[in-house]
């Protein structure tokens, strides 16, 4: 018979072993759901055709003197220096700004071979939006080839499809107890209204708000976060115009949690509206050509739990000159220059962003600053430079027309007077 001391020791030992097992076993004692989190990494426009020609929107083109031994080498080249960052996120998203096809005829600015899908998949990108103004640069055939080549690599595409139902279909992702749903829309498509998906017609998703609102409400019950990708704004614009901000606010009022914007080719500020972040423009990420006016850009990294957006990190990436062909994380003066620009743009939107080392940090719970309708009116009245240029051009034409018409009228009057 064991002594009381031995029994006591065995009981204590059993308690310690049991405690250790329950503490470290993920099966028996799961991590509390509020401690779980995932990272979402979002980048801007990706285009790798390298065939852009001069036009009104593509002037002073910087081309890359690159030669490759194989299609695989060409497809992977732009991601080499940024691959580890893309792979490290739980979910990585970009806007695919070009159709992918080997046989469709190019009718717009861009067209990349389907081999580029290998580079996208290899890089660590997990989902792409095809809702943008270049989606049908190779027509319907090019759109279908794009969808097929992405599907063959198990790379989901949102914002476009064989018909309206497939174009509206969200991408749903779950990890660590956090469930995300992504949808994508574009304000314009270069081929016109015939490019938008219909019940029996392939195409991309427009920003018709009745559809957006219905999509949000349908997805809202299935996920913790509804994330919208918007291709919007002004080409080479330096800030979001009022119609972009209006759409963003309406989307959040309807239940969206995060908005990811792109198209202007410039990074814009971030606005926290009702506690929800709006990334108005991520800028470029990878492009098949560059322009002297284009700048460095950023990636946005979100840390999400089932209950809150813990933080948003702004990571500056190279985008000037040849660097846009193979971006990398910036550091030092160049990084701080980009972050300080974004910080000021964000402050103009009444949102705080701190610069911590080489990273911009936004806490959505505390970043939103007090503002009223007057602040919004003032911001929106300070128009982007493109609108000022347009208004200036209209005014100049108006003055010329007024001058010509007034001269014509005065001459007619003089002729009538001379006949009397």
Lowest mean pLDDT among 23-32, 73-82, 152-161, 164-173: 23-32
CB–CB of 402/410 below 8 Å? no
Q: Give me the pLDDT at residue 368, please.
A: 96
Last residue of a domain, one of 322, 342, 368: 368
Do 354 and 376 have their domain in common? no
Q: Give me the pLDDT at residue 419, please.
A: 66
Do 338 and 386 have their domain in common? no
Cβ burial, residue 418 (10 Å; 0-12/13-18/19+): exposed
* Residue that has been written with the tokens 């852009």 in this structure: 52
* Separation between Cα atoms, residue 107 and residue 416, nearest integer Å: 55
Binned at pLDDT 50, 70 and 90, residue 6 comes out as low
Do 157 and 62 have their domain in common? yes
In a domain, 11, yes or no: no
360 pLDDT more than 90: yes
C-beta contacts of 193-198 below 8 A and 24+ residues apart: 195/135, 195/136, 197/160, 197/161, 197/163, 197/164, 197/166, 197/167, 197/168, 198/163, 198/164
> Which tops the pLDDT comparison, 393 or 360?
360
Q: Give me the pLDDT at residue 32, please.
A: 55
Q: Give me the pLDDT at residue 407, please.
A: 74
| Total count of domains within the chain | 2
CB–CB of 270/258 below 8 Å? no
pLDDT digits over 225-276, tens only? Answer: 999 999 999 999 999 999 999 999 999 999 999 999 999 999 999 999 999 9
* Separation between Cα atoms, residue 183 and residue 160, nearest integer Å: 10
Buried b (16+ CB within 10 A) or exposed e, 365-401: eebbeeeeeeebeebeeebbebeeeeeeeeeeeeeee
Q: Give me the pLDDT at residue 375, please.
A: 81
pLDDT digits over 190-225, tens only? Answer: 999 999 999 999 999 999 999 999 999 999 999 999
Q: Give me the pLDDT at residue 1, please.
A: 52
In a domain, 99, yes or no: yes
Do 385 and 249 have their domain in common? no
> Which tops the pLDDT comparison, 341 or 415?
341
Do 308 and 385 have their domain in common? no
CB–CB of 207/129 below 8 Å? no
Supply the pTM of this predicted model: 0.85
In a domain, 224, yes or no: yes
26 pLDDT more than 50: no
CATH for 52: 3.60.21.10
Q: Tell whether the torsion through CA atoms of 191, 183, 368 and 371 is positive or negative.
A: positive
Q: Give me the pLDDT at residue 27, please.
A: 36
11 pLDDT more than 60: no
> What residue numbers bound the domain in which 199 lies?
33-368
In a domain, 137, yes or no: yes
CB–CB of 256/217 below 8 Å? no
Do 103 and 201 have their domain in common? yes
In 130-269, DSSP assigns E strands to 157-158, 160-161, 171-175, 178-186, 203-204, 225-231, 258-262
The mean pLDDT of 79-106, rounded to a whole number, is: 98
């Amino acid at each position: 018979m064991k002594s009381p001391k031995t029994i006591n020791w065995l009981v204590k030992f059993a308690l310690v072993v049991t405690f250790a097992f329950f503490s470290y076993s993920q099966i028996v004692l799961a991590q509390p759901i509020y401690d779980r989190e995932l990272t979402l990494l979002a980048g801007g426009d990706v285009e790798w055709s390298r065939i852009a020609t001069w036009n009104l929107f593509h002037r002073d083109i910087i081309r890359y003197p690159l030669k490759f031994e194989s299609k695989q080498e060409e497809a992977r080249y732009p991601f080499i220096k940024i691959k580890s960052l893309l792979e490290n996120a739980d979910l990585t998203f970009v806007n695919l700004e070009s159709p992918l096809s080997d046989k469709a005829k190019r009718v717009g600015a861009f067209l990349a071979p389907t081999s580029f899908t290998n580079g996208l998949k290899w890089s660590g990108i997990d989902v792409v939006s095809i809702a943008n103004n270049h989606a049908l640069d190779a027509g319907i055939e090019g759109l279908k080839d794009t969808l097929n080549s992405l599907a063959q690599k198990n790379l989901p595409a949102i914002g476009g499809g064989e018909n309206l139902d497939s174009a509206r279909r969200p991408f749903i992702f779950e990890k660590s107890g956090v469930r995300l749903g992504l949808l994508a829309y574009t304000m314009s498509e270069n081929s016109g209204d015939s490019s938008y998906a219909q019940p029996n017609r392939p195409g991309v998703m427009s920003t018709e708000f009745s559809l957006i609102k219905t999509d949000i409400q349908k997805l809202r019950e299935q996920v913790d976060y509804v994330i919208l990708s918007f291709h919007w704004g002004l080409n080479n614009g330096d800030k979001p115009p009022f119609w972009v901000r209006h759409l963003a606010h309406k989307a959040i009022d309807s239940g969206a949690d995060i908005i990811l914007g792109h198209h202007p080719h410039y990074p814009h500020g971030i606005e926290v509206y009702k506690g929800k972040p709006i990334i108005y423009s991520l800028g470029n990420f990878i492009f098949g050509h560059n322009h002297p006016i284009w700048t460095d850009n950023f990636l946005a990294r979100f840390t999400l739990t089932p209950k809150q957006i813990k933080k948003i990190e702004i990571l500056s990436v190279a985008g000037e000159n040849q660097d846009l062909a193979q971006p990398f994380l910036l550091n030092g003066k160049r990084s701080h220059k980009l972050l300080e620009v974004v910080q000021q743009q964000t402050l103009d939107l009444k949102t705080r962003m701190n610069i911590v080392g080489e990273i911009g940090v936004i806490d959505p719970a505390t970043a939103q600053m007090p503002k009223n309708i007057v602040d919004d009116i003032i911001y929106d009245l300070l128009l982007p430079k493109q609108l000022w240029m347009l208004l200036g051009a209209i005014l100049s034409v108006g003055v010329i027309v007024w001058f010509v018409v007034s001269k014509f009228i005065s001459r007619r009057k003089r002729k009538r007077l001379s006949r009397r």
